[in-house]
């Protein structure tokens, strides 16, 4: 069964079960946000058919514009409680910033596998 926007699920991260929600789906990939210990949240792109199959991890600042646009298209928002970054920035504000500055991580970096680096 394929994941869909707004779906709530449980995934395994760092040997623990984590609550997660689907923010956007593009093709066979889904951007999800999941809860971490101590109240923070994190982002990852997973297979839309197997949420434990990680394709890529992103910081909130590095989410590519295509994912931000997909979130905006379906009216999705993230909780945005990163461990080491500053204040919550909405997907729409992040997309606007990237469009105005031309700073899109995905456009300037090759996609490394999830386990790399």
Q: Where are the domains of the chain?
A: 8-108
Q: What is the pLDDT of residues 66-104, one digit of tens each?
A: 999 999 999 998 888 877 656 667 777 777 777 777 776
77/23 Cα distance (integer angstroms): 7
The DSSP letter of residue 4 is -
Task: Note the pTM of the prediction, 2 decimals.
Answer: 0.79
């Amino acid at each position: 069964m394929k994941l869909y926007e707004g779906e709530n699920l449980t995934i395994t991260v760092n040997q623990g079960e984590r609550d997660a929600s689907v923010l956007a789906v593009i093709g066979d990939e889904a951007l999800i946000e999941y809860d971490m210990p101590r109240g923070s949240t994190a982002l990852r792109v997973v297979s839309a058919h197997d949420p434990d199959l990680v394709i890529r991890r992103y910081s909130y600042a590095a989410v590519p514009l295509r994912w931000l646009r997909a979130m905006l298209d379906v009216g999705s928002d993230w909780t945005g409680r990163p461990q080491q970054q500053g204040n919550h920035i909405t997907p729409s504000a992040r997309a606007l910033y990237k469009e105005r500055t031309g700073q899109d991580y995905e456009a300037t970096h090759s996609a490394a596998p999830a386990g790399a680096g």
